[in-house]
Amino acid sequence: MTTGNLFIISAPSGTGKSLLLQLLLKNNILKFNIKLSISYTTRMKRIGEINGKDYYFISKKKFKKMIINNEFLEYAKVFGNYYGTSKKNIDNFLKNNIDVFLNIDWQGAMQVRKKKTQVCSIFILPPSINELHRRLYIRGKDHIDIINQRMLQSKKEIYHFHEYDYLIINNHIHDAIFDLKNIIYAEHLKTKIQFNIYNKLIKKLLKE
């Protein structure tokens, strides 16, 4: 049975992973059906964000209830707020042969690897610390104190890059998208996946 591929993409805040995914989905020229998993979060909704599109915004009480009910594939507490991925949503996508991207941090990635044997993980790095700080500042989403917290946190996150299957340096967005698309193609060309698709052909070739 052919199923979708599960991808994890992680990076320090401001590296550009969310923009990469937006552009990949918006200008998807791949032949594969790709979806971005929408996380649940307890943080406040920012201006312009839409519930059910950017995040599922829920209360801490409801989030903790979902934890007790074992509804999350992964979850973490970041800067005082909870973020989590629904197991049911991910399994439904994969069963319908849809590739799913999880935009999560290294803590969530560790949890997913323990529960899913078939997962491809990608880490995005900035070209420099100064550029990372500049990107955080110009996007205008956070107060300077939060930016400073994110910069301190970024070094801790970068430490975990070696735990991932692939590494992309996001210096130029178009090059990074090109690299990301190549990773997706490479995962689909793995022997196990190709055999599931072309098993009749392969068995026929072996008989002839």
Question: DSSP readout, 102-170?
Answer: EE--HHHHHHHHHH-SS-EEEEEE-S-HHHHHHHHHHT--S-HHHHHHHHHHHHHHHTTGGGSSEEEE-
Domain region containing 198? 6-37+98-207
Domain count, the chain: 1
Q: What global pTM score does this model have?
A: 0.86
Count of CB atoms situated within 10 Å of the CB of 126: 22
In a domain, 119, yes or no: yes
Question: In sequence order, what are the beta bridge partners of 6?
Answer: 100
Pair type for strands 72-78 and 34-36:
unpaired
Non-local (6+) Cβ contacts of 30 within 8 A are: 181, 184, 185
Place of tokens 């791949």: 30
**Tens-digit pLDDT profile for the chain (208 aa)?**
678 999 999 998 778 888 899 888 886 667 788 999 999 999 999 888 999 988 999 999 999 999 999 999 999 888 789 999 999 999 999 999 999 999 999 999 999 999 998 899 999 998 887 777 776 667 656 667 766 677 777 888 889 999 999 999 999 999 999 999 999 999 999 998 899 889 999 999 998 7
Which CATH number characterizes residue 195's domain? 3.40.50.300
